[in-house]
A = this chain, B = another copy of it.
Amino acid sequence: MPTANPTTDEGASKKERILDAALGLFAERGYHGTAVPLVAEAAGVGAGTIYRYFEGKQGLVNELFRREKRAVTNHVLGSFPFSEPPRSQFHYFFGRIVEWARTQPQSFQFLEHHHHGPYLDEDSLALEREVTEYALNYVRMLKTTGIARDADDHLFLVVVWGTIVRMMREAWNGSLELTDAFLAQAEEACWEAIKA
């Protein structure tokens, strides 16, 4: 056990240290506002090292996008209560997403700021589509079983995801305090919009 704690910056691999540093900087300053040497410094590596692990700045942002997208997906689906009733599942989903946004705000913000950038490559876009497709399938199941109202499959994603993203933005602004009460109301409003 040579590196005792692989979750610290020191123990993490160089590639992960670079991704971690890039996450914080891209989330806060955006893609064009973040200089590569700054990422290197924040990661504690030389500027040239980034180019050993990534195909330039664009390669870095794409690998980071996929890492974060997979992480949040895994956070929600990793222990999804598939056997519980739909309303409970929705409660679980809503809670897990909000938990992610609150505990990993940089990840959430990064994904929101970058999911439409012209620098995303085909792999990243394919992953985005894959996740969407998974969600759509779940929605179809809800409709088939009569839980959700009879509406376009995309509608539910649009309402739920749009609401959550907007809510987090306003919270980060300072326009909104994310109390338990507010979260409960938001969840309920989303469910009202969905349910048959």
A contacts, CB < 8 Å to B: 28-33, 116-118, 132, 149, 151-152, 154-155, 157-159, 161-167, 169-170, 173, 175-176, 181-182, 185-186, 189-190, 192-194
Known: A165-B162, A193-B192. A155 touches B28 (CB 8 A): no
**Contacting A116 at CB < 8 Å: which of B117, B163, B173, B192?**
B173
Minimal Cβ-Cβ distance residue in B for A28: B118
- Provide the bound-state CA to CA distance between A151 and B181, in Å: 9
B159 and A193 form a contact (CB under 8 A): yes
Give bound CA distance, A136 to B101, whole Å. Answer: 25
The answer to whether B166 and A162 touch across the interface, beta carbons within 8 angstroms, is: yes
Show 23 A/B contacts (Cβ-Cβ < 8 Å), sorted by A: A28-B118, A29-B118, A30-B30, A30-B31, A30-B32, A116-B169, A151-B185, A152-B182, A154-B170, A155-B185, A158-B163, A158-B176, A158-B186, A159-B159, A159-B166, A159-B186, A159-B189, A159-B190, A161-B166, A162-B162, A162-B166, A163-B163, A189-B193
Neighbouring B residues of A152 by C-beta, 8 Å: 181-182, 185
Chain B residue nearest to A176 (CB atoms) is B154
Q: Is the interface of A mostly helix, strand, loop or mixed?
A: helix
Complex Cα spacing A157 to B171, Å: 13
Chain B residue with the shortest CB-CB distance to A156:
B189
User: What's the Cα separation between A137 and B175 when bound, in Å?
Assistant: 15
Q: In the docked arrangement, what's the CA distance between A194 and B30, Å?
A: 33
- Is the Cβ of A182 less than 8 Å from the Cβ of B155? yes
Residue among A151, A161, A162, A164 having the largest count of chain B Cβ atoms under 10 Å:
A162
Give the complex CA separation of A181 and B193 in angstroms: 16
How many angstroms between the C-alpha atoms of A118 and B173 in the bound complex?
12
Other CB < 8 Å A-B pairs besides A152-B181, A155-B186, 18 of them?
A29-B118, A31-B32, A31-B33, A32-B32, A33-B118, A152-B182, A154-B175, A155-B185, A157-B170, A158-B166, A158-B167, A158-B170, A159-B186, A159-B190, A162-B164, A163-B193, A165-B166, A193-B193
